[in-house]
Amino acid sequence: VQLQASGGGLVQAGGSLRLSCAASGNIVTINRMGWYRQAPGKERELVAVITSGGSTSYANSVKGRFTISRDNAKKTVYLQMNGLKPEDTAVYYCNVDHLTYYSGSSYSSKYDYWGQGTQVTVSS
């Protein structure tokens, strides 16, 4: 089971990026998916989360600029980031709070599962 994040890069202030995080493996169910970020010298913080039913929640700092969505058929979560600011510069990580997968002979679970990060750099 893997979470593969992509879509980061370098963009000027005011620009846009779209992050994707695809879950792979014999995944049966995925509960809440989300994006977190960690800037140099700072703690990792929540950016946005989305439940399996589509309910969303955002950090105050990104409300109105970022939009989280998911495609359950593709087992993918997206983060559309508009109006980017230099303070959005960070490594962005995707997270799943709980997923179940088939491991050949039985079903197993993973909790608080992280993908590798993708760097987002916003220049002023």
Phi, psi of 86 (to 5 degrees): -55, -30
pLDDT above 90 for 84: yes
DSSP 25: S
Per-chain mean pLDDT for the chain: 97
Q: Which are the contacts of 26, defined by CB distance < 8 A and separation ≥ 6?
A: 1, 101, 102, 103
Per-residue pLDDT reduced to its tens digit, 47-60: 999 999 999 999 99
